[in-house]
Amino acid sequence: MGDLRDVVVGLSGVIPPLPTPFDDEGEVDYAAFEENVELLGQTPVSGYVVLGSNGEACYLSEEEKLKLVEIAVRRAPKGKVVIAGTGLESTKLTLELSMRAADKGAHAVLCLTPSYYKNAMNDDALIRHFEFLADHLPVPVLIYNMPKNTGLNVSARVVEVLSRHPNVCGMKDSAGDAVQLANFANAVGPSFNLMVGTASTWFPGLCLGLRAGIMALANCAPFECARVKELFDSGRIEEARALYLKLLPLNALVTGVYGVPALKYVCELVGFRGGRVRRPLLELDEAVKAKVRVVASASLGREL
C-alpha cells in the first residue's frame, strides 16, 4: 500500500470503528464480523478501525483481538486502510499488542490514552508514552482521545508536541467539542491527520479543514456520512449541513444515549450483522428498540 506514513497522512473520508458481534453465548461471531467487513467494503468508506470503543475492545482477549485484525486485513478491499486499536494501560503492553497487530497486517495503530492513574497522566507522561511507541513501531501511530470513557482529555500542547514526531501521524478526537477541535487544528501542521472522532463534529470538522472522520455512525449510515463530505467538497455546503443535522438525532442515540447496544441494533435494521453485546453491557429492551427504530427511520429517510 505504499509508504504507510503517507497513506495515513493522506487518509480522507469516512472510517467506521467496527462493532464486534457476539453470539448468544457471548463468544465472538467471527463470521458475522467478516460479513460486515465485506459489506462495508462495498460502501464509500475509506477503511476500518478494528478494536475501538465501539468494538468493545476492553472486553476482548488478546487472541480475540488479533484474530479480528487478521480477518479485517484479509477481507478489506484493496485500498481500504485497516487501523487497529491497541491502546492499553502500560506503554510496554501497548507496544507489544501494537507490534502483533502490525505483524497481522494493520496499516496503523490507534492508541487510547492510558487513564487508570489519570492524576499522573500529565502532558509529559502522555508525550513520553506516545513518543516511545512511535520510536519503536514499524507502523504509524494515531492518538486516540476519548475523554467520555477515560476521564482524561488530551491538551493542545500534547497534540502539538507529538505532531512533530515523524511516526505520530494523526489523531482521533472523540471529545465532540468543536472549539477543542479548532484548537487542535491550530496546533498541528498539514503532515498530521487530525480526524473527527464522532459524527457530532463531522460538519464542523470539515469547515475547519479536516478531511477524515472515524465515527460510530458510519457503521450503520456509511453512505450518508460519506455524502456529507461529498456535498461539502463539491461546494454544496447547505445541503451538507442539512444532511448532517438530519443525522444528529440518530448519532446521539448510538453514541451518547444508548451507545454500543443501540449501534448494533441499528446495524441489524439496515442489513449488517450487529450481534449481541458482551456482558456486563446489556441489550436494549423492546421499548428502547422501538424508540431507536423511529429515530433511525427519520434520520435515514426510510422505514426500518
CATH 3.20.20.70 fits 4-236, yes or no: yes
Supply the pLDDT for residue 129: 98
| Count of CB atoms situated within 10 Å of the CB of 85 | 31
Please answer whether residues 139 and 110 qualify as being in contact, where contact means their C-beta atoms are separated by less than 8 angstroms.
no
Q: Quick check: helix, strand or coil at residue 261?
A: helix
Contact 49, 15 (CB under 8 A): yes
Compute the distance between CA of residue 224 and CA of residue 217 in angstroms, rounded to an integer. Answer: 9
Asked whether residue 1 carries a pLDDT value surpassing 80, the answer given is: no
Average pLDDT for residues 127-145, to the nearest whole number? 98
Q: How many residues does the chain have?
A: 304
Instruction: Say what the pLDDT of residue 41 is.
Output: 98
* C-beta pairs of 117-126 under 8 Å, 24+ apart in sequence: 118/150, 118/151, 118/152, 121/152, 123/155, 123/157, 123/158, 123/161, 126/154, 126/158
Which 8-state DSSP code applies to residue 208?
Answer: T
Average pLDDT over residues 81-94: 98
Q: Report d(CA 221, CA 166) in Å as an integer.
A: 34
- Position 2 scores a pLDDT of 58
Q: Distances in Å between the alpha carbon of 92 and those of 26, 101, 286?
A: 29, 14, 43
CA distance 122 to 106: 29
Measured distance CA(72)–CA(66) in Å, rounded: 10
With beta carbons less than 8 A apart as the criterion, state whether 168 and 143 touch. yes
Rounded to the nearest integer, the mean pLDDT of the chain is 97
The pLDDT of residue 294:
98
How far, in Å, CA of 98 to CA of 111, rounded? Answer: 9
Are 78 and 110 contacting, i.e. CB atoms less than 8 angstroms apart? no
pTM of the model: 0.97
**In this structure, how many other beta carbons lie within 10 angstroms of the beta carbon of residue 7?**
19
Please give the positions annotated as active site.
Answer: 172
Residue 193 binned pLDDT confidence (cut-offs 50, 70, 90): very high
Q: Distance between CA 262 and CA 92 in Å, rounded? A: 34
pLDDT reported for residue 69: 98
**Residue-level pLDDT at 31:** 98
218-258 per-position pLDDT tens digit: 999 999 999 999 999 999 999 999 999 999 999 999 999 99
Q: Write out 91-118 in H/E/C secondary structure.
A: HHHHHHHHHHHHHCCCCEEEEECCCCCH
- Domain extents for the chain? 4-236
Q: Which strands form 212-214's sheet, in the order they lie side by side?
A: 13-15, 212-214, 193-196, 168-173, 141-145, 108-112, 81-85, 47-50
* pLDDT confidence of residue 134: 98
- Whose cell is 497522566? That residue is 121
In Å, what is the CA distance from 205 to each residue of 211, 213, 237, 276, 295? 8, 9, 13, 32, 24
**How much is the pLDDT for 216?**
98
CA distance linking residue 283 with residue 213, whole number of Å? 27
* pLDDT, tens digit, 9 for 90 and up, residues 280-293: 999 999 999 999 99
Contact yes or no for 241/203 (Cβ under 8 A): yes
